[in-house]
Amino acid sequence: MIPFFRVSERIENASNKALDLCKEQFAYIDEITEYNQLKVQKAFIECGISETHFISTTGYGYNDRGRDILDNVWAKVFGAEDALVRHNFTCGTHTLATALFGVLRPGDKMLCVTGTPYDTIHNVIGITGEKMGSLKDFGISYDEVPLKNDRLDYDAIRNAVDDSVTMVYIQRSRGYELRPSLSIDEIERVCKIAKEKNPNVIVMVDNCYGEFVEKREPTEVGADLIAGSMIKNAGGGIATTGGYIAGRKDLVEKCAYRLTTPGLGREVGASLGHNRELYMGLFYAPHTVGEALKSAVFISALFGGFGYDVTPKYNETRHDIVQSLGLENPESLVAFCQGVQSGSPIDSFVLPEPWDMPGYDSKVVMAAGAFTLGSSIELSADAPIREPYYAWIQGGLNFHSAKICALLAAQQMEDKGLLK
Ligand SMILES: *Cc1c(COP(=O)(O)O)cnc(C)c1O
């Protein structure tokens, strides 16, 4: 019997069956978690981290040792020459935009080889949005290579990367699409092809949702620049805001000039007491990502067992933490999100309802009972109320907590006569 919560016998049996199915994937995830934990730990030791690195600075933030050494630890972990880790990156989009504006110049060309990128990047590039100061407004052109049957089209990439291309842009995670996410092996192959065609090309990877899911990061297989958000994988559920950029030293330097200002770059920026949580977040990140992966695998096994379409399947190798769930009708999407929310540690009493979220063309329902607002390394679910009625689920600070949320989601659907 499941203590403290009401879960029907049918769902409890399904849960036990799902857990059984997960064993092999869980063992695989444990192996990756341990590898990455040791990688992070070694970097901390090599950089001689001590309590003095947590000391806060104010004002200009000159000589903030904790901030500067954190960049070194980060670079070591990501196998990069340099890194820029800052609490004042406001979100993933801001971090990616800083990197793009940091290294691209008027007349340059950006080529995305993973189809159309994540929604919030459209305004940055200038695919949508008028006169917001996009790359396009500054004379930077954009092109993309569509995916072929949801996979990288290596031949088309080879053809598209010529001397006119300044940057090849790769989105590692599927984001909110049904295509598979990219493996590090696939990213490595794109890097090779791109450099063969144009040795000067900059390969940049949107690393959101991908950190610590595999043993290697894109910067270890040929990517020149990566960026990500601290309220996803890289912040371990501890960081409360921020982002990071890592990669080639000259490029990271340019990004620092863009984040603050030419001339000042990384020398300024008070850490305001954020250093400790950024260090601790990195320390926790491999483990938290492991828990989020286990949560996703379990949800896939459970709802796959009920007969719903799930991607990835429980036994597929994962390259990001996102799980999608075809719930088939609007009522089930709402019940699912309400069930997840009801088991969350924060805001459990809130009843999610579909609403017209800015920037979306249909209503969206979401569950987000998180310690950090909008954090998606914590268990969260989003579902646009439109065909084919999929929910996107990601995160889970710990498996047991995410597991009960998944069971309560199923229970909510069963209570409403919706569970298959
Ligand atoms: C989350 C995410 C981003 C950035 O989104 P923010 O909400 O601004 O942090 C960009 N790309 C991908 C693939 C993402 O998952």
**pLDDT tens-digit profile of 278-327?**
999 999 999 999 999 999 999 999 999 999 999 999 999 999 999 999 99
Percent of the chain with pLDDT over 70: 100
Over range 178-205, report the average pLDDT.
97
**pLDDT tens-digit profile of 355-386?**
998 767 789 999 999 999 999 999 999 999 99
Strands 225-229 and 202-206: parallel
CA-CA-CA-CA torsion for 288, 92, 127, 157, nearest 10 degrees? -50
Would you say residue 176 has pLDDT above 90?
Answer: no
Ligand 1 centroid vs 204 CA: distance in angstroms? 15
Protein residue with its CA nearest to atom 2 in ligand 1: 208
Ligand 1 centroid vs 13 CA: distance in angstroms? 36
CB of 271 sitting under 6 A from ligand 1: no
**pLDDT tens-digit profile of 131-164?**
899 999 999 999 999 999 999 999 999 999 999 9
Q: What is the DSSP string of 49-78?
A: --GGGG----TT-TT-HHHHHHHHHHHHHT
For residue 232, give every residue at least 6 positions away whose Cβ sits within 8 Å of its Cβ, in sequence order, or none. 92, 208, 209, 211, 321, 375, 376, 377
101 to each of 62, 261, 355, 402, how far by Cα in Å? 24, 12, 33, 38
- What number of residues does the chain have? 420
CB of 298 sitting under 6 A from ligand 1: no
Q: Which of 174, 176, 232, 241 to mutate to test the pocket of ligand 1 (most atoms within 8 A of CB)?
A: 232
**pLDDT tens-digit profile of 20-51?**
999 999 999 999 999 999 999 999 999 999 99
CA-CA-CA-CA torsion for 116, 117, 118, 121, nearest 10 degrees? -110
**Closest ligand 1 atom to the C-alpha of 229?**
9
CB of 92 sitting under 6 A from ligand 1: yes
Ligand 1 centroid vs 95 CA: distance in angstroms? 9
Say what the pLDDT of residue 79 is: 98
Q: Which pair of structure tokens corresponds to residue 45? A: 């030791």
Handedness of CA 365, 369, 374, 380 (dihedral sign): negative
Ligand 1 centroid vs 169 CA: distance in angstroms? 14
Protein residue with its CA nearest to atom 6 in ligand 1: 92
In a 3-state reduction of DSSP, which class is residue 232? coil
**Mean pLDDT, all residues of the chain:** 97
CB of 242 sitting under 6 A from ligand 1: no
Q: Which of 100, 187, 229 to mutate to test the pocket of ligand 1 (most atoms within 8 A of CB)?
A: 229
Say what the pLDDT of residue 359 is: 65
Over range 257-267, report the average pLDDT.
98
The Cα 121–Cα 100 span in angstroms is 10
Angle at CA 270, nearest 5°, toward 265 and 274?
120
Say what the pLDDT of residue 361 is: 76
Q: At what angle do helices 275-306 and 9-46 cross, to 10 degrees?
A: 150
**Closest ligand 1 atom to the C-alpha of 172?**
13
Protein residue with its CA nearest to atom 7 in ligand 1: 92
CB of 206 sitting under 6 A from ligand 1: yes
**pLDDT tens-digit profile of 73-119?**
999 999 999 999 999 999 999 999 999 999 999 999 999 999 999 99
Q: Which of 89, 93, 182 to mutate to test the pocket of ligand 1 (most atoms within 8 A of CB)?
A: 93
pLDDT confidence tier of residue 130, bands split at 50, 70 and 90? confident
- Give yes or no for a contact between 355 and 334, defined as CB atoms under 8 angstroms apart: no
Protein residue with its CA nearest to atom 9 in ligand 1: 92
pLDDT confidence tier of residue 165, bands split at 50, 70 and 90? very high
**Closest ligand 1 atom to the C-alpha of 118?**
11
Ligand 1 centroid vs 50 CA: distance in angstroms? 32
Whole-model pTM?
Answer: 0.97
Say what the pLDDT of residue 175 is: 84
Ligand 1 centroid vs 174 CA: distance in angstroms? 10
Over range 256-284, report the average pLDDT.
98
